Amino acid sequence: MVKQLSIFVQNRSGKLAASLSVLRDSGIDVRALTIADTPDFGILRLLVDDAAKAETVLYENGFLVQCTDVVVVPVLDERGGLASLLEPMAEAGVNIEYMYSLIARDAKDAFMVFRVTDNAAFLAMLKEKGLKHVEPAELGIK
């Protein structure tokens, strides 16, 4: 599994830039991100090359941050590739809380990042169906 950071960001001009500047200035490379927002705040979800360091520097700079496990799965980069993964997930009763895409350097496949209610059940389903998940090192993540 891969460690994902979720950062609470006020929905005000410059707050998103400030969080990403802290990471840049600390030498942390962002590999994937998504943001969900409301009128007052957003939750920035990130995959970075060093989650432990990123969590520390964000916290030290006043950001509310949480680290969670997500599963990254390769998806054939072709028409219907994602549906071919979602169908067995639905059959196995895997509940998706959210997901977002990830493009890796020099990869032939696209990748989907999944936050599900039961990582163990999801990983078991992948194994049963002959599908794989991506180890952090494959994405340049510690």
Has residue 108 got a pLDDT over 80? no
Q: How many domains does the chain have?
A: 2
Same domain, 27 and 83: no
Q: In which domain, by residue range, is 98 found? A: 71-139
Same domain, 102 and 52: no
CATH code: domain of residue 33: 3.30.2130.10
The CA distance from 28 to 22, in Å, is 9
Write out the DSSP string of 76-134: -SSTTHHHHHHHHHHHTTPPEEEEEEE--TT-SSEEEEEEES-HHHHHHHHHHTT----
Same domain, 55 and 75: no
Q: How confident is the model at residue 5 (pLDDT cuts 50, 70, 90)?
A: very high
Has residue 140 got a pLDDT over 90? no
Q: How confident is the model at residue 138 (pLDDT cuts 50, 70, 90)?
A: confident
Same domain, 86 and 122: yes
pLDDT digits 0-9 by tens, 42-82: 999 999 999 999 999 999 999 999 999 999 999 988 899 99
Calculate mean pLDDT across residues 81-88.
94
Same domain, 134 and 85: yes
Among 69, 99, 123, residue at a domain's last position: 69
Q: Take residue 53 and report the two structure tokens written for it.
A: 């360091």
Same domain, 130 and 75: yes
pLDDT at position 128: 93
Same domain, 54 and 87: no
Amino acid letter, residue 29: D
Among 69, 89, 118, residue at a domain's last position: 69
pLDDT at position 39: 81
pLDDT at position 71: 97
Q: pTM to 2 decimals?
A: 0.86
CATH code: domain of residue 118: 3.30.70.260
Same domain, 128 and 76: yes
Q: How confident is the model at residue 18 (pLDDT cuts 50, 70, 90)?
A: very high
